């Protein structure tokens, strides 16, 4: 198989958030106009802008040049600012508590505070590798699930683009048989990118499409099979059961399939909406998260409560609507980008 994991940190891919740190260094720590206005890295920076600004400006003002005594007042003001970054109450509380533990009753300076906050965020974000699992033999099967409009089909197009570009043969399964438009959307992408696609009639059984797609991938010696599913809510128990059924038919063709079940979450949806997707983890046996539409939120801190909320690694972030707008998620780079101006 050609260059299996194009998302691996080991592969030097300019599309990965953070691998293009050079423009930053080249301009002495400031992003070049080019980097901030366009490209994946620029969009990644924009996504984090509000969070970075709160950390860099508001908290810096709160602490002041000469430092600030850590007392109850300070701790509650700090908490209020952290909440503004979309990192969620739990994470903001953990940062505050750690600072209270380390510094209460004495003066803290900005660099010490940032160091402490960064360590806490790091601990929360710590996760297994973002690399995709790979089948021991035969095609690697990836199933994609999530609520309506989260960005599933677009994320599949992006994954396909990356796999095909890396020389892999991809078969897609248009498992969203609910909406005719979804099948058309995926067919257009597949044609454009030279991937094979298996479709079913509108309203037909998605498990049957999934079965045929995995079978086609196996018999044609494809490297990867990606199966789309219709959007659903975790409260729709019949539809959640359907996901288990789709999984089971895949297993009939390849015993350890699906190798990945990616839950696509809309970063702009707000934390409550995202929390509502928790049921997917159990019903669909999710193995990782794709955080779509990160370019649509200036409060990129949203990845923090997601790590708190789901016991799943964030594998990719979506940074736009074009097929190249997908980056492998890297905890170190994410945390560094959040705090880079605060040190
Ligand atoms: N800006 C932006 N838009 C996205 C991203 N991912 C998906 N979208 C848009 O979100 C909408 C819903 O996406 P779609 O893939 O059809 O969602 P699905 O219902 O989960 O399959 C479409 O208009 C996409 O173009 C992203 O990373 N950034
Ligand atoms: Mg779709």
C-alpha Rg value of the chain to the nearest Å: 21
Pocket of ligand 1 (CB under 6 A): 146, 148-154, 231, 264, 292-293, 295-296, 318-321, 325
Please tell me the class of the 140-286 domain: alpha beta
Is the CB of residue 252 less than 8 Å from the CB of residue 277? no
Complete DSSP assignment for 114-183: HHHHHHHHHHHH--S--SPP--SSS-EEEEEE-STTSSHHHHHHHHHHHHHHTT--EEEE----S-HHHH
Report the distance separating Cα 113 and Cα 99, nearest Å. Answer: 7
Atom of ligand 1 nearest to the CA of 264: 20
Q: How far is the CA of 235 from the centre of ligand 1 (A)?
A: 22
Token code pair at residue 195:
């991937």
Per-residue pLDDT reduced to its tens digit, 156-201: 999 999 999 999 999 999 999 988 888 999 999 999 999 999 999 9
Token code pair at residue 51:
């969070």
Per-residue pLDDT reduced to its tens digit, 236-287: 889 999 999 999 999 999 999 999 999 999 999 877 777 778 888 888 899 9
For the chain, give the longest Cα–Cα distance.
69
Please tell me the class of the 29-130+330-343 domain: mainly alpha
Q: Closest-lying ligand to the alpha carbon of 180?
A: 2
> 10 Å Cβ neighbour count for 284?
25
Residues of the chain with CATH 3.40.50.300: 140-286
Choose the most confident range, by mean pLDDT, from 33-47, 185-199, 292-306: 185-199
Q: What pLDDT score was predicted for residue 343?
A: 33
Q: How far is the CA of 150 from the centre of ligand 1 (A)?
A: 6
Residue 35 clears pLDDT 50, i.e. is over it? no
> 10 Å Cβ neighbour count for 29?
9
Is the CB of residue 114 less than 8 Å from the CB of residue 343? yes
Global pTM reads 0.88
Residues 6+ away with beta carbon under 8 Å from 181: none
Is the CB of residue 305 less than 8 Å from the CB of residue 91? yes
Residues of the chain with CATH 1.20.120.140: 29-130+330-343
**Ion ligand 2 — residues with CB < 5 Å:** 152-153, 176, 182
**For a pocket test of ligand 1, which of 300, 321, 329 has the largest count of ligand atoms closer than 8 A to its C-beta?**
321
């Amino acid at each position: 198989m050609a260059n299996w994991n194009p998302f691996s940190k080991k592969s030097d891919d300019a599309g990965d958030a953070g691998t293009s740190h050079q423009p930053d260094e080249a301009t002495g720590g400031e992003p070049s106009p080019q980097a901030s206005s366009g490209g994946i890295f620029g969009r990644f920076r924009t996504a984090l802008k509000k969070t970075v600004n709160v950390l860099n400006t508001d908290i810096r003002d709160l602490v002041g040049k000469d430092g600030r005594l850590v007392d109850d007042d300070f701790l509650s003001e700090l908490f209020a600012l952290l909440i503004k970054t979309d990192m969620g109450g739990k994470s903001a509380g953990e940062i505050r508590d750690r600072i209270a533990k380390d510094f209460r009753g004495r003066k803290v300076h900005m660099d010490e505070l940032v160091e402490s906050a960064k360590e806490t965020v790091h601990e929360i974000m710590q996760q297994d590798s973002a690399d995709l699992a790979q089948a021991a033999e035969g095609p690697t099967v990836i199933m994609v699930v999530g609520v309506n409009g989260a960005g599933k089909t677009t994320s599949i197009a992006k994954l396909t683009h990356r796999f095909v570009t890396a020389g892999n043969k991809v078969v897609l399964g248009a498992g969203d048989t609910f909406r005719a438009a979804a099948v058309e959307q995926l067919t257009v992408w597949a044609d454009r990118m030279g991937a094979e696609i298996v479709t079913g009639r509108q309203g037909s059984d998605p498990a049957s499409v999934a079965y045929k797609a995995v079978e086609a991938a196996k018999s044609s010696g494809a490297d990867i099979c990606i199966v789309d599913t219709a959007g659903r809510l975790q409260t729709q128990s019949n539809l959640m059961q359907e996901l288990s059924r789709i999984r089971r038919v895949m297993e009939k063709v390849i015993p350890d399939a699906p190798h990945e079940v990616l839950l696509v979450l809309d970063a702009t949806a707000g934390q409550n909406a995202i929390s509502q997707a928790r049921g997917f983890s159990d019903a669909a046996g999710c193995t990782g998260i794709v955080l779509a539409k990160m370019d649509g939120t200036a409060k990129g801190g949203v990845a923090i409560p997601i790590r708190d909320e789901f016991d799943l690694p964030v594998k990719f972030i979506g940074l736009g609507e074009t097929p190249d707008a997908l980056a492998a998620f890297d905890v170190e780079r994410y945390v560094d980008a959040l705090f880079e101006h605060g040190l």
